[in-house]
Amino acid sequence: MGFNSFTFILVFLPVLMIGWHALNRLQKYTVADVLLIIMSLYFYYTFGVNFLIILSVSIGVNYALSAVLKKIDSRNTTDSNIHKKLIKIIGVLFNLGLLFYFKYLGFFADNLNVVFKTGLTVDKIIMPIGISFFTFGQISYIVDRANGEAPHYSFVEYTLYTAYFPKLIQGPIAFHKEMIDQFRDKSLRTYDSVKFSAGIISFVLGLSKKVILADVLSKIVNYGFEQTYYLDTLTVIAVMLAYTFQIYFDFSGYCDMANGISLMLGYRLPTNFNSPYKAASAKELWQRWHMTLSRFFIKYVYIPLGGSRKGRYRTIANVLIVFILSGLWHGAGWTYVCWGLMQGLLVVWDDLGIVSTEKEGKFLFRKEPLLVIPKALGRAMTFIAFVASLIFFRSESVEKALAMFRRLFFFTWPGFLTRTAANLDIAENYVFRQFLSQMGGIDENVIYMITMVTYLAVSGFIITRKNTEEIIETTTFDKKTLIGITVLFLWSFISLSAVSTFIYFQF
């Protein structure tokens, strides 16, 4: 049961909202929390009972470790710091071990077999949805708890923080204080019509991004990557643009929907997506894309490694380590490692200060850049580099990724463009195709091409406009907005012919 399903929209969400706001109005705050926990666990249960068991064990173990830390604090002996460090190590190893088993064990065994010519076999392990997200959230808590930066919360508070369903399966990776402080604030439990209306707008905009744009663009993307060895240059460009927009609207759409649900409940999730394709450098892009993952790696990996405090070359190494780990976080495969390394190298390139859109900045080897370029050119170059890097991100293997690069840079024209565009012959585009066919004299293949170009052009236009957070900050829920949101919702709802998963579910 995803956010983009009939059951969620027609049953789960209305029941939750009615129960939540009714209980809070009666000042039954603990009961309301328990209701939200039960609904969150049920939401996760719909993806598989085994997943729920794993999540429950994870919560139980981490909370138990926090309880042990509480006992250590109460004793306040000379060995307390040593014991805290030991619990921190146990906690981190437990969480990483859980993640390793379900996400990386098969990948690790395969590579051992290749390097050492062994015959290790690993039965297929089904990875729990969202394990990377709730595991990283709990790592942050255990580390902060052991470092004296977090209290021992009640079991209800900790379970609600970890299992809170809007962020459970695709983030953001919220820190404990960000959410639990809100859960404790009784003033946020009073129904706020302005916040609730903003939540509806955010949810509908996110749903439309996912259903109307991302899911349709996926038709082009899936076909293109299935035909990697046969594509021509122009088709590779079209497919990669489609994927670049698909992953944007898919992830952005989920963030908007999660944010919208939280606003309807009275809470705000940390911003996780802030128009990354408007970035004028790779460094800025990663300050806008999956922002909570970036700050996790900065706080718990980059800074402990020394950050930028131990010299220029150590700084470069630390940046590359963080981005390689970020690549591996996204998936157990060498394609993700290559993608992460490519992103890291682009960020290092920005730090070198050879080319920049800023006249001054903190560069590794100079105070001023050698060449200053306009921001518009910087945005274009950053966007193109990111599109190219996504070839690794989406490809099934490094071999197929390199084949895609060859098709891109060595011009060919066998004519796959129209066949790729023909994948947009779907029910959602029926009216548009009929409109074009009524104009007379237009070949069917031309109609498909126009449809594809229209989707790419509309997608390119939307990413240059205000993002959803900017829209809800400046939009009043008047009659005009109500009509627009209603039309968009009905269009999205009608398009829910087949419930598709979000791309980041697999991470």
| Residue pLDDT, tens place only, 256-273 | 999 999 999 999 999 999
Over range 72-100, report the average pLDDT.
93
Q: For residue 504, is pLDDT > 90?
A: no
276-316 pLDDT, tens digit per residue, is 999 999 999 999 999 999 999 999 999 999 999 999 999 99
Over range 47-52, report the average pLDDT.
96
223 Cβ neighbours under 8 A, 6+ residues apart: 239, 419, 420, 423
Q: What is the pLDDT of residue 359?
A: 85
Task: Write down the pTM of the prediction.
Answer: 0.94
Q: What are phi and psi of 275, to 5 degrees?
A: 50, 60
Q: What is the pLDDT of residue 286?
A: 96
Q: Which residue ranges make up each domain of the chain? A: 6-117+124-190, 195-235+243-270+412-506, 277-408
- Predicted confidence band of residue 37 (pLDDT cuts 50, 70, 90): very high
Q: What is the pLDDT of residue 50?
A: 96
Burial 137-162 (b: 16+ CB within 10 A, else e): bbbbbbbbbbeeebebbeeebbbbbb
With pLDDT > 70 as the criterion, what percentage of the chain qualifies?
A: 98
How far from chain centre, in Å, is Cα 140?
18
Separation CA 359–CA 363 (nearest Å): 11
How far from chain centre, in Å, is Cα 421?
27
Structure token digits, residue 218: 């996926």
Separation CA 467–CA 251 (nearest Å): 13
- Predicted confidence band of residue 507 (pLDDT cuts 50, 70, 90): low
Q: What is the pLDDT of residue 183?
A: 97
Q: What is the pLDDT of residue 76?
A: 79
How far from chain centre, in Å, is Cα 466?
19
Contact status, residue 389 vs residue 339, Cβ threshold 8 Å: yes
Q: For residue 499, is pLDDT > 60?
A: no
Over range 116-133, report the average pLDDT.
90
- Predicted confidence band of residue 33 (pLDDT cuts 50, 70, 90): very high
- Predicted confidence band of residue 505 (pLDDT cuts 50, 70, 90): low
Could you confirm whether 330 is annotated as catalytic?
yes
Separation CA 42–CA 39 (nearest Å): 5
Q: What is the pLDDT of residue 119?
A: 85
Q: For residue 445, is pLDDT > 90?
A: no
Convert 86-139 into a string of H (helix), E (strand) and C (coil). Answer: HHHHHHHHHHHHHHHHHHHHHHHHHHHHHHHCCCCCCCCCCCCCCHHHHHHHHH
The strand pairing partners of 224, in sequence order, are none
Over range 405-422, report the average pLDDT.
88
Q: For residue 498, is pLDDT > 80?
A: no
Contact status, residue 224 vs residue 423, Cβ threshold 8 Å: no
169-199 pLDDT, tens digit per residue, is 998 999 999 999 999 999 999 999 999 999 9
